[in-house]
Structure 1
């Protein structure tokens, strides 16, 4: 019985690193976003809004950015699950959004990008 329990524990431990979020991989994924968005201290709105402090924020609420009515009226508060659904297909999640992006379909890449974004507070400083 101990041998089986030990084998299960070893198998579970081997799988866990694959599920972990990788900020470095998320930063590489961020290169897909950088043409339209900024993060970090001094981030500005570009074609898209700056993404500092994204998680916990309401959609359409970055000051100085001109959002589509669909985005402003979506009622979305950004959390990991909502962001994951959105980034896979922005126009499916918010019909009428002006964000033109094919989406990221890979679950691990989305987790890594999420980890990268979550490190920036509203002021752009790393938490």
Structure 2
């Protein structure tokens, strides 16, 4: 088995695939945006807008470690456009949920990323 398990899909195609797939792995009422990470060709920027009155926005960097595994990093959490303390229980709970959804999306795309 080769240790060279690189991501073999172009960033634009990857972004498009995530845009199609992520909405089906997150809560129906939430909204997700996926953009290429301009600083890292193996990474995406994912923004999730929570539904309801909370109006939180979560920004994640999703980097591919290899063709199967992603590393999710929380960049920022905002509420009504202002940065909030991400250490609170509710925020931590949401971060864990969204991280799980992001990993589910990555798994759903294995057929595409693990060529």
Which protein shows a greater Rg?
Answer: 1
Specify if TM > 0.5: no
More strand by share: 2
In the superposition, the TM-score normalised over structure 1's length comes to 0.31
In the superposition, the TM-score normalised over structure 2's length comes to 0.33
More helix by share: 1
Bigger RCO of structures 1 and 2 (CA < 8 A, at least 6 apart):
1
